[in-house]
Amino acid sequence: MKDIFTAPFVEEMKRTTANMYRLGWDERNGGNISLLLDTDEVAEYLDLGHVIRTIPIGFEAKALVGRIFIVTGTGKYFKNVEVDPETNLGIIRIAEDGCTAELLWGYKDGGRFTSELPAHLMSHMARLEVDPQHRVVMHCHPTHTLAMNYVHELDERKMTHTLWEMCTECIVVFPDGVGVLPWMLCGTNSIGEATAAKMREFRLVVWGMHGIYGAGKTMDETFGLIETVEKAAQIYMLTAHLPRINTIRDHELRELAEFFGVDYRKDFLDL
C-alpha cells in the first residue's frame, strides 16, 4: 500500500491551505475545505475496511452515502496543515445511515471535521446535481471581499455587476455571478441549507460580513474563482471613494461573455 503522506490529494490540501493562509484569507482557524475523492484512488493508500472511529455529522446526507472526502479539521490552523497533515486533516466516508462519518485517516489528536461540514456536504449535494464533475467546496475570509460587504449593498445582482466591472476577466471567470446571503449564524444547518440553495444557481456564495464559499471541479478552479472575486473586490475598495472616470460598460461585458462563449447572467446586465 502506498504512503498516504505522498498522496496527491494530501499534497494538494497542504499546498492550497498554505497558500490561502499566506494570502490572509484564513486567519487563525478561519476557513475550511472539503474535497470529494475517488474511492479507487484512496484505496491505494488506505485500508477502506478499517474505520478508526465514527462521528455524527448532524444531518442526513443520504445522497452522499459511501462517498469519501478529505476535510480540514475544526479549530485547526491552515498554517499547520503543511507540517502536520495527519492532525489537521481527516479522510471521512459517509456511512450507510447517511448521518455518520467514518474516519479512515487523520484527526489523530482526537479532533473532528470542521464545524461547517453540514454546509459543505449540503453544497456538495447541490453542486453534484448541477455538475457530476463537481469535487471541491472551499470557504475562506478574503480581506477585500469582506470589506466590500460593509460598503456595498448585499444584493447578488448589484454585487455581481460591480465585481464584473472591476476586471475584464471577471464575467468570463464567474459568468454565473455571485450569490449573496445576509449575515447568518455560522456552523448551523440553517446556513448550510441556505448556502446549498444558492449553490444550485451559483458557484460562489458570499456570506454577509463573514466570508465566501466557492465550489468547483478542481482545487485550482475553486481557488481561482475566489481569487478573482477577491482581486475585483480589492480594486473596488481602492477606487470606491474616488470619482470614476472610466468603467467597463454593460454592452462591453456582453461582448466579452459572447466572445469567450460563456453562459452569463443576462439578467444581471442593463441592456
DSSP-assigned letters across all residues of the chain: ---GGG-HHHHHHHHHHHHHHHTTSS-TT--EEEEEEPHHHHHTTS-TT---EEEE-SS--GGGTT-EEEEEBTT--HHHHTT-HHHHEEEEEE-TTSSEEEEEEE-TTS--B-TTHHHHHHHHHHHHHH-TT--EEEEE--HHHHHHHTTS---HHHHHHHHHHH-TTHHHH-TT--EEE----TTSHHHHHHHHHHHTT-SEEEETTTEEEEEESSHHHHHHHHHHHHHHHHHHHHHTTS-------HHHHHHHHHHTT----GGGS--
User: Same structural domain for residues 148 and 86?
Assistant: no
Query: pLDDT (tens digit, 9 = 90+) per residue, 208-251?
Result: 999 999 999 999 999 999 999 999 999 999 999 999 999 999 99
Q: In terms of pTM, does the model score above 0.75?
A: yes
- Domain end marker among 94, 115, 136: 115
Q: How many domains does the chain have?
A: 2
Q: Using pLDDT thresholds of 50, 70 and 90, give the confidence band for residue 1.
A: confident
Query: pLDDT (tens digit, 9 = 90+) per residue, 131-185?
Result: 999 999 999 999 999 999 999 999 999 999 999 999 999 999 999 999 999 999 9
Q: Give yes or no for residue 193 having a pLDDT over 90.
A: yes
User: Same structural domain for residues 175 and 90?
Assistant: no
- Domain end marker among 59, 88, 115: 115
User: Same structural domain for residues 87 and 201?
Assistant: no
pLDDT of residue 114: 95
Query: What share of the chain has pLDDT > 70, as a percent?
Result: 100
Average pLDDT, the chain: 97
- State the residue range of the domain holding 175: 117-271
Query: pLDDT (tens digit, 9 = 90+) per residue, 113-130?
Result: 999 999 999 999 999 999
- Domain end marker among 86, 115, 144: 115
pLDDT of residue 258: 97
Q: Give yes or no for residue 48 having a pLDDT over 90.
A: yes
User: Same structural domain for residues 83 and 127?
Assistant: no
- Show the cell assigned to 202: 451559483
CATH number of 42's domain: 3.40.225.10
User: Same structural domain for residues 38 and 132?
Assistant: no
**What mean pLDDT is predicted for residues 68-73?**
98
User: Same structural domain for residues 156 and 61?
Assistant: no
The question of whether 82 is a catalytic residue gets the answer no
User: Same structural domain for residues 176 and 232?
Assistant: yes
User: Same structural domain for residues 122 and 105?
Assistant: no
Distance CA 103, CA 55 (A): 7
**What mean pLDDT is predicted for residues 94-122?**
97
Q: Which of 44, 96, 116, 230 is catalytic?
A: 116
Query: pLDDT (tens digit, 9 = 90+) per residue, 72-87?
Result: 999 999 999 999 999 9
User: Same structural domain for residues 126 and 8?
Assistant: no
Give Cα 52 to chain centroid, integer Å: 27
User: Same structural domain for residues 135 and 66?
Assistant: no
User: Same structural domain for residues 110 and 132?
Assistant: no
User: Same structural domain for residues 190 and 90?
Assistant: no
Q: Give yes or no for residue 271 having a pLDDT over 90.
A: no
CA end-to-end span of the chain = 59
Q: Using pLDDT thresholds of 50, 70 and 90, give the confidence band for residue 108.
A: very high
